[in-house]
A and B are shown apart, each in its own frame.
Chain A
Amino acid sequence: MSAVATAAAEMSAVTVRIGDAVILDQLDLAARDGELLAIVGPNGAGKSTALHAMAGDVVPTAGTVTVAGRPAQQWSRAQLARHRAVLPQDTQIAFPFRVREVVEMGRAPWSRVATADQDDAAVAAALEQTDTAHLADRRYPTLSGGERARVALARVLAQQTPLLLLDEPTAALDVRHQELVMAVARRRAEAGDAVVAVLHDLSVAAAYANRIALLSAGRLVAQGLPSAVLDPVVLSEVYEHRIEVLRVPGVTAPVIQPTRRR
């Protein structure tokens, strides 16, 4: 298998069962280098579980997960930490660390591998990209929700991994920072990394993703280019609500919005 064809992370027929509940059902999903994959779907569709299965956190009941062609369970913790970074939905820090210290924690997997200069450069770049450099000396608990979310992302970026798994990276953000974060994610993909983001806002997914995977009840409903997956009929059925896909003249990405009755 050539290096180009090897997916950054690949799930094959992955089933995850917790007790009697089937969270993922025979899911096939791949993250590829140079691509931003958005995972969308209604609440409880298994989006987060899929992301965490890809991260190697969730051991599938059946099926296989490979990272860079190698089964996830065969990676050592340290190796995996230098290869994939995970942004959780909500980062709560137990003690009042400074923002810079929190972002520096993203460099932990590189201790004894990278030089101090490389660490400093990675931290500075991550602070810069997430518009948090001015917060560097602040203590994490004093930040607003949106600031915390960006600092958590900066920590993930500082980890400098070729595979980025982001669980709802824009959930706590205002419009400006939502666009900033998605632009960062997209740039990382354009630079050759594989980026997977769980997203709720379908318009954001349409605007930034190279590929969208639509999940429902643990199954893959559709996968492909945004224009192909974001079909009003399919979306309306999956979300159990009428959804319109609007084309705005002069803008490539469609706007997806629910039909609201008055």
Chain B
Amino acid sequence: MTDLAARPATRTPARVDGSATHDRWRAIGLLTGLVAGLVVACLAAGALGAFPIAPADIAASVGRRLGLTTAAATDPTAEAVLWQIRFPRVVLGVVVGASLGVGGALLQGLFRNPLAEPGIIGVSAGAAVGAATAIVTGLSALGGGATAASAFVGGLVATLLVYAVARSGRRTEVVTLVLAGIAINAVAGAAIGLLMFLSTDAQVRAVAFWNLGSLGSATWGAVATVAPLAVLGLATAPWFARQLDLLALGEPVAGHLGVDVNRLRLLVIVVVAMLTAAAVAVAGVVSFVGLVVPHLIRLATGPGHRLLLPASALGGALLLVVADLVARTVAAPAEVPLGVLTALVGGPFFFWLLLRTRERQGGWA
């Protein structure tokens, strides 16, 4: 035995892909970069538009509201544009983007698959059916909260359904997962079509908005409606980080390491439905944010959920604020629907992801 142990081991040359210490610095760099990017994006979103406002004026105005300066506002129109139109929209973009980013990361961890995304597997569509039902039945007249609650129920039902269908034994089959998503999206599409058929012209316009996705209806009221749902979901998510890491080893192994897999599954599904509902209730179906953002972050700093979840929140917020800025300025005075824009970017990304995975590991079995 001793001579065996003493013999030099035949070692595969180590592939250079950094080390754990390296990872820590990259993580700090990534978070700093995302925060800085988000601040810049928010300033830009406040500054740009039909009525341009200088970034310095924005900073001064925010300072005034926070009581940092006492100088009087120079331009009342700029104040009104900023606080009545642009800021609610920016804040809503942050809330929706963070919700979608974290929702995607959670779903991918739960399904142990980077393809899982609220839009692709039908969770968003389920939430949209819930929201549309609220509009058409007049439930939404009870307040924005009713629409959000209805979207939550729709999203929850869709998530549970897709999970129940895509699991066989103790694992999730990717093909079944994606096919279940197709089926749910088809049924949801039909349900929305039927609801539109049954509704008045005004309702048709309101429902059509969900199919395209937009932050155009942003008000402080809308922010107040979905913020509780989103904040609750975002605040709960980090609590699952360690367990989702263990789940990557497979459900049986996670169980051997002390994870109550059934409970984790149920809780994550509820939180994903909350986050998706918060996003869908105010912005409609904005797809691919939950796919693109966590994926890029995994490429940059690795798959650990303790970093992935907060970074996905920041990255999702950044992506959505920028996307919304582009949506409302690129064809001004017309506005490109946000969902159309994210799909334009996300669709090709999805293709690239498929091709890359096929190249590397022969695709998802």
Contact = CB atoms under 8 A, between A and B. Distances in A.
Interface in B2-53: 4, 9, 11-12, 14-15, 17-20, 23
27 contacts: A57-B252, A80-B258, A81-B257, A84-B256, A86-B252, A88-B252, A88-B253, A91-B249, A93-B249, A94-B247, A96-B298, A97-B303, A100-B20, A101-B20, A101-B302, A101-B304, A105-B257, A106-B257, A109-B257, A109-B258, A134-B11, A138-B14, A138-B15, A139-B17, A142-B17, A144-B12, A176-B4
A147 interface: yes
Interface in A72-123: 77-78, 80-82, 84-86, 88, 91-98, 100-102, 105-106, 108-109, 111
B256 A86 contact: yes
Given A85-B256, A86-B256, A94-B250, 12 more contacts: A77-B255, A86-B252, A93-B250, A98-B23, A101-B302, A105-B257, A111-B242, A136-B20, A138-B17, A139-B17, A144-B12, A179-B4
B113 A94 contact: yes
Given A96-B302, A97-B248, A137-B17, A55 B256 contact: yes
B58 interface: no
A170 interface: no
A97 B245 contact: yes
B20 A81 contact: no
Contacts of B4: 176, 179-180
B364 to A, nearest CB: 11
Contacts, number: 97
Contacts of A131: 9
A7 interface: no
Interface residues of B, number: 35
B258 A78 contact: yes
A80, A100, A101, A183: which has the most chain B beta carbons within 10 Å?
A101
Interface of A: 55, 57, 77-78, 80-82, 84-86, 88, 91-98, 100-102, 105-106, 108-109, 111, 131, 134-139, 141-142, 144, 147, 155, 159, 176, 179-180, 183
Interface centre among B248, B252, B257 (most CB of A within 10 A): B257
Contacts of A139: 17, 302
Interface of B: 1, 4, 9, 11-12, 14-15, 17-20, 23, 112-114, 242, 245-250, 252-253, 255-260, 298, 302-304, 361
A95 B295 CA distance: 11
Contact of A137 (B14, B248, B258): B14
B253 A86 contact: yes
A176 B12 CA distance: 15
